[in-house]
Amino acid sequence: MGVECQATLPVAAIDAKYFPALSAPGILTRLPIKRDHLHMLYAILCYHDEDAVGSWSKEQDAAVMKKLAVVQDRLTKQGRLGPVARLLPTTAATTLRKENPPVVIDGPFAETKEQLLGFYVVDCKNLDEALDVARDLAAANPGGAYEIRPVGMMTQGSISA
C-alpha cells in the first residue's frame, strides 16, 4: 500500500465536528487518509450466538462468508476497510482478571446469549455512514447484532498477514 505513517494529535486540537465522540484528553493516532476531509475510524463489533453459528453446515458458513466478502471487497476498493478478524469460539478464550494478584481463567469473562465473534475497522465520514456499512454486513449475515463504536486510537502494530 505504501509507507506506514502515523500522526499523533492532542485530542484538544481536533475539531469537534470531525470527532464528536472524543471528549476526554488523550491522544488520537491515525494513519493519514488521502482525502479532502477528515474521517473517523469505526469498529463494527459482530455479536451472535456462537452455538447457532457453530451449528451451521460448511455450506451455510461458506455462503455467509461469500456474502460478507462482497461487502468487504467493496470497502477495500473504496480504501475504507481496515483490519477484519473472525474470532475462535469462547471455548478457546482465556481471561486475565485484573485482581491482586492477577488471575488467569479459562474461557470468556461473562456469560451472555451473544458473544463477540469478530470485528471490522472501517473508515467513515460519520456514524450514519458506519451504520450503512453495518446494515450491509447484517444483510449478509443473519441474526445477532453489530455494535458500532468510534475508534479512539489505532496503531498498525508489527504483524504482517
Residues linked to residue 45 through DSSP beta bridges, in sequence order: 119, 147
Is the Cβ–Cβ distance between 93 and 50 less than 8 Å?
no
Tell me which residue has cell 473472525: 86
Number of domains in the chain: 1
42-70 residue pLDDT tens: 999 999 999 999 999 999 999 999 999 99
Single-letter amino acid, residue 75 = L
Query: Does the residue 8 lie in any domain?
Result: no
Confidence of residue 125 (pLDDT cuts 50, 70, 90): very high
Query: Does the residue 142 lie in any domain?
Result: yes
pLDDT of residue 109: 63
Query: Does the residue 2 lie in any domain?
Result: no
CA atoms within 13 A on the CB side of 111: 0
Query: Does the residue 113 lie in any domain?
Result: yes
pTM of the model: 0.72
C-alpha cell at 28: 488520537
CATH code at 66? 3.30.70.1060
Query: Does the residue 11 lie in any domain?
Result: no
Find the domain containing 146 and state its range.
37-150
Query: Does the residue 138 lie in any domain?
Result: yes
Residue 12 has pLDDT above 80, yes or no: no
Query: Does the residue 21 lie in any domain?
Result: no
Q: In whole angstroms, what is the distance from residue 47 CA to residue 129 CA?
A: 20
Query: Does the residue 13 lie in any domain?
Result: no
